[in-house]
Structure 1
Amino acid sequence: MLTALHEFNSCVMCKGAAEEFQILANSYQGPGAFTTKVFFAMVDYDESPEVFEALQVTSVPSFFHFSAQWKFTTDDIYNLRGRDIVADQMAEWVAERTHVSVRIRQPTNYHGLLKLGILLALTGGLGYFLKWNRKSISCRILCEVLTLCFVIVMTSGQMWTYIRGEPYVQRDPRTGHKHYISKFSQAQFAAETFIISLFNMCVTLGMVLLDKAATSTMNVIKRKMMCLAGVCLVAIFFSWLLFLFRFKVPDYPHRFLWD
């Protein structure tokens, strides 16, 4: 990787690209890696300008692959127009050029877990000092709502994104557009977890309405309306969940309502 990390160079993309490149290199150096087959190197313009002159590089960041046979082609230059500067896509490019598979391991981020622990501790301490009424805590409806909220949060990937330190969204360096959903099956943005939580909440609400429609003693018209609303919520938002999953895993065979 050829870059220019000093602030006076005004390279907006260089810092993020260097972080992704570091993740790629660290992932290859993990346990069981044959570390003498592929080497990763980073060259800064202010430290080695002669390298930039020799390779005739005029823009940064740039990524090159140099084989042991010294056969250099255009495919040995990372195409920034066709690929994003993320560790997963760089790993695919490395596999194409070297036939060495690199499984990306995002650095563990414990700050989110620490914040969650502090929040739970503060909530518990506040409840203790305010002496919550035991009847309100043991209330069946409150316990059911809290349980559903916990399940929805855990199944949406919130904890996974906190530990992995995933970004909230990702901005395309070429167009400037924001991506709220990662197209990789092994990655998930924080905004994506909120979308999944919303879909799961709507599916859950639909199931609750169906249950109430079947067991309630209300008049028939209200029960039919509840049943229709429940069916629509479950069908629409479950279909969107499948659509989102198929977007990340195109080979997934099952679908519902629409592709």
Structure 2
Amino acid sequence: MLSEKVDQMMEWSSRRSVIRMNGDKFRRFVKAPPRNYSVIVMFTALQPQRQCSVCQANEEYQVLANSWRYSSAFSNKLFFTVVDYDEGADVFQQIRVFRPPNYSGTIALALLVSLVGGLLYLRRNNLEFIYNKTGWAMAALCVVFAMTSGQMWNHIRGPPYAHKNPQNGQVSYIHGSSQAQFVAESHIILLL
């Protein structure tokens, strides 16, 4: 059975560097023993309606798999595969992936640290601006105004910018309830 699995993987790999898998193939060739080879699996959602912003790594993954396939080190010990959500949704449930990872917060933090580090490096001979009370007061006020206006609530809850009444077409920028708000409402409060 092992030799049949390896032969099948080699046949698929000879046709395409990246082997497309569905749920049945994944369970048989990746999860089920016996297996004396390694499998690198990329989980993705390539269909445009999925709007997966982090799925752009597919082209780089193809380049990597092609490099391995046509290298002198190529053997039957390593295979590159891909599982698309539309072809193997059961695999995503099996490995408990319900949504793609979102690295925007990590990227924003890295960008902020880089900007602060760059500013300190450029101004290393004159760091008196760090002791400027007016600058710190303005920064603190900006944070207080942003939080008072409800920006954090918007970030957590993700409300719409405004609401358009379907009956009369009127746009509401301020929510009628005291338990909710629109993004436009927080912008109005911030400006006030």
TM-score relative to the length of structure 2:
0.41
Higher strand share: 2
Q: Which has the higher contact order (CA 8 A, sep 6+)?
A: 2
